[in-house]
């Protein structure tokens, strides 16, 4: 799939440091023992406005999904989803090769390293069905 070229924005760079080494880095408030998505800017629990980055295990489950279709019939449909990380946060994500979509379907993070731009994240089923 061609998703364009990803660049860093200076605020979420540790996320892309993570994808480069096949790790999913998300935000975490240590005092509250709470995890947040990579774009979280603070902890609503304690008011901390600086959250640390921590590695998520990459396991997730499917919350809900959509298949988007471009106006051009030649555009390939995109399987998009909300996934719940094992640590609790939800991510808007893209699925790759996932069949039998249902609430709670186990997923695992997978990393893509394009020739140009930052590495990114997809979610696949935990047991890949044979082609």
Partner 1 sequence: MGSGAAIAGLGMTELGRVYGSSPRRLAANAVRAAVADAGLTLEDLDGLLVSHGMGGSPSIELAETLGLRDLRLLSLMSAFGATAGAMVAHAAMSIMNGAATTVACVFADAPLQPKQSAGSAYHRNAKEYYGFGGMTAALGFRSINAFYALAAQRHMARYGTTSEQLGAIAVSTRQWASMNPLAQLRDPITLADHQNSRWVAEPLHLLDCCLVSNGAIAVIVTSADRARDLARPPVHVLGWGQGHPGHRKERGSEFGLTTGALASGPIAMKMAGVTVDDIDVCQLYDCYTYTVLVTLEDYGFCAKGEGGAFAATGALAPGGALPTNTGGGQLSAYYMWGMTPLSEAVVQARGAGGDRQVARNDVILVSGNGGILDHHSSLILSPHAPSSQGA
Residues that bind partner 1 (CB under 8 A): 3-12, 15, 35-39, 44, 63-69, 71, 77-78, 80-82, 84, 88-94, 102-103, 117-118, 120-122
Q: How far is the CB of 51 from Zn ion (least distance, A)?
A: 8
The residue (of 93 and 107) whose beta carbon lies closer to partner 1 is: 93
Q: Is 119 within 8 Å of 19 (Cβ atoms)?
A: yes
Exposure string of 91-112, with b = 16+ CB inside 10 Å and e = fewer, is bebbbeebeeeeeebebbbbbe
Q: Which two tokens stand for residue 75?
A: 């555009």
Q: How far is the CB of 110 from partner 1 (least distance, A)?
A: 13
Q: How far is the CB of 103 from partner 1 (least distance, A)?
A: 5
Tell me which residues in 30-69 interact with Zn ion (CB under 5 A): 32, 43, 45-46, 48
Q: Which helix (H) or strand (E) holds 15?
A: helix 13-20
Q: Is 105 within 8 Å of 91 (Cβ atoms)?
A: no
Count of residues making up the chain: 131
The residue (of 29 and 105) whose beta carbon lies closer to Zn ion is: 29
Residues at the interface with Zn ion (CB under 5 A): 29, 32, 43, 45-46, 48
């Amino acid at each position: 799939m061609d998703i364009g070229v990803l660049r860093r924005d200076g605020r979420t760079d540790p996320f892309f440091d993570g994808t480069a080494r096949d790790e999913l880095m998300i935000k975490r408030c240590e005092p509250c023992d709470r995890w947040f998505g990579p774009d979280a800017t603070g902890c609503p629990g304690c008011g901390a406005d600086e959250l640390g980055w921590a590695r998520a295990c990459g396991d997730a489950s499917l919350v809900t999904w959509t298949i988007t279709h471009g106006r051009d019939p030649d555009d390939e449909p995109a399987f998009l989803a909300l996934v719940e990380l094992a640590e609790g946060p939800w991510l808007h994500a893209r699925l790759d090769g996932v069949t039998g979509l249902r609430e709670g379907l186990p997923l695992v993070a997978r990393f893509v390293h394009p020739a140009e731009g930052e590495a990114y994240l997809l979610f696949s089923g935990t047991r890949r069905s044979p082609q």
